[in-house]
Every structure is written in structure tokens, then in C-alpha cells.
Amino acid sequence: MSAPASGGMPATVLVRGLERRFGNTTVLDRLDLSVGAGEFVALLGRSGSGKTTLLRTLTGLDPVQTGEVRVPAAQAVVFQESRLLPWKRVWENVALGLEGADARGRAEVALEEVGLGHRLAAWPLTLSGGEAQRAGIARALVREPSFLMLDEPFASLDALTRLRMQDMVGALWRRHRCAVLLVTHDVDEALLLADRAVVLDKGRIRASFPIALPRPRRHADPDFARLRAALLDALDVRAVDQAA
């Protein structure tokens, strides 16, 4: 089963027949994926499903061996670890590599937007995990990306901080309307945020679920629960539970 194109929207990201091998292991196997302009796609998959490799290919960190990958030049990544330079103040990290006038002013606006206006001149090692991740998001947003990649950005945060950050990312996306690819292994996170969830398995898109729930979304919604069950099924979680 290959990824259905997202209906009608012009694709911001287009991947066709992408293959990636390390020796005899096929990590990405003739993978097709498209993300429409302003579409929020969650990419789910278990460890070793090829999520990381796909993301690294989209960011340009890994080369395209076989296949076609079209991504906009205006793209940005938020990593699982914030990857701030510890020797630069928070605003300097956000302004790093910015071109054009008033990089500092733009960095400060971005930091205000993620609620870090009070830590502009802080050293990164003094930030909490949530604050560091906000700074990472500001560093991505300040580049005004038309395609934003989030690589398990909340995985190492505590549960409460994670909920707050998910809310914030949802709000930022509604305001900026960039295409988003959120890599996660948290089914609830995908259902809270995404327009569409795709499941990656053995290097291929195994299933694609449009999530047409009204926002803001609630866990208690019966449709939420139904989609959750379907997604978990696609991830083979039920099967594993029964086998165990």
C-alpha cells in the first residue's frame, strides 16, 4: 500500500520511490509520501521502521540514493534534543545563521512567541528541558519555513510539559500554516495534532489515516478512541499484546 496523495492540495513535500540501503538491509523501500501545503502529517512507526532515516533524507543530512525527493528550500528541523549551542545565549542560538536585517529582533520575536521572552539572554545549560525545546522551536520558526520537521520533539519531556508543548505546537501551526511532518511514536500525540497519520513499517508507508476530528481534540471523543484503536492495530500493538 502506498501513500495516497493528500486530496487536491498542492504538495509541498513529494517523495517518490525512495530507497535507502545499508549493506544488505533495506531501510527505506520504494517509499512514497507527500505532504500538502499547510498539512500537518504525523509519521508513526516503531523503532527501526525507518523514521529517522526518512527524516534525515528530507533534511538533507543523508543523501538520496535512489528515488526522488522534493522539499522546499525554506525548511527547518526541531530535534529530539534541543541541540542548542551551549556557548551562545538563547537569542544568539535562535539568530544563528539568519540573514538579513535585525536578526536579533526577529529572534526575540520568535522567542516571545514560544513564551521564552524572559530567557532571551540565558545560557542554554540553565534552561529546563521544556524551555530548551521551546528555544529549538523558535530557532526553527524564525526561519519562516514552509516545511517544518519535528523529530520526536517531546519524547524526553515529562508528561505535563509534553501536554503543554503539544498545545503550543498546535497553536503555532494554526498561526503559521506551514506543512509539518511530526515524527513520533505517541499515537495520542498524532491524533491530537495531525491532519493525517501515516504508519511506516519496514521502510514503507503501511497505512495512512486521515484524522477529520474537530479541533480542539479530546481524548474522550469516541471517534478519537476508534482512530486510536485503528492506529494501534496498524502499529501491530494489539497483535503483540495477544502474543505476549
Partner 1 sequence: MPDTLLPDGILTPARPDPAHVPAAPASAALARPRARRAGMAGRRFLSPLLIVLAWQAASSAGLISPQTLASPWQIGRTALALSADGTLGRNLLVSLGRAGAGFALAFAAGVVLALISGLSRLGEDVVDAPMQMLRTLPALALVPLFILWFGIGEVPKVALVALGGVFPIYLNLFKGIRSVDPKLLEMARTLRLGRRDTIRHVVLPGALPDLLVGLRLSVGISWLMLVVAEQVNASSGIGHMMMDAQDFLRTDIIMVGLLVYALLGLGSDQGVRWLERHLLRWQPPSPGYRA
Tell me how far apart the alpha carbons of residues 194 and 67 are, in angstroms, rounded to a whole number: 26
Q: In angstroms, give the least distance from the CB of 235 to partner 1.
A: 27
Please state the closest distance from residue 203 (CB atom) to partner 1, in A.
22
What H or E segment, with its residue span, contains residue 207? strand 204-210
Binding site for partner 1 (CB under 8 A): 59-61, 76-77, 79, 81, 83, 85-88, 96-97, 123-126, 139, 143
Contact between residue 13 and residue 70 where contact means Cβ atoms under 8 Å apart: yes
Q: How far is the CB of 88 from partner 1 (least distance, A)?
A: 7
DSSP one-letter code for 217: P
Q: DSSP per residue over 69-122, as a string?
A: EE--SSEEEE-SS----TTS-HHHHHHTT--SS-HHHHHHHHHHHTT-GGGTT-
Determine the Cα angle at 55 with ends 57 and 45, to 5°: 130
Question: Of 46 and 56, which CB lies nearer to partner 1 in the complex structure?
Answer: 56
User: Rounded CA gap, 61 and 66, in Å?
Assistant: 15
Q: Which residue, 7 or 97, has its beta carbon nearer to partner 1? A: 97
CB of 62 to partner 1, least distance (A): 10
Give 16 or 143: the residue with its C-beta nearer to partner 1. Answer: 143
Residue from 44, 25, 42 nearest 170 by CA: 42
Distance of CA 239 to the CA centre of its chain: 27
CB of 41 to partner 1, least distance (A): 19
The helix/strand/coil state of 38 is: coil
Report the distance separating Cα 214 and Cα 224, nearest Å: 10
Q: By C-beta, is 101 or 121 nearer to partner 1?
A: 121
From the CB of 180, what's the least distance to partner 1, in Å? 16
C-beta of 33: minimal distance to partner 1 in Å?
19
**Closest CB to partner 1 among 8 and 86?**
86
Residue (61 or 171) nearer to partner 1, CB: 61
Nearer to partner 1, 6 or 12 (CB): 12
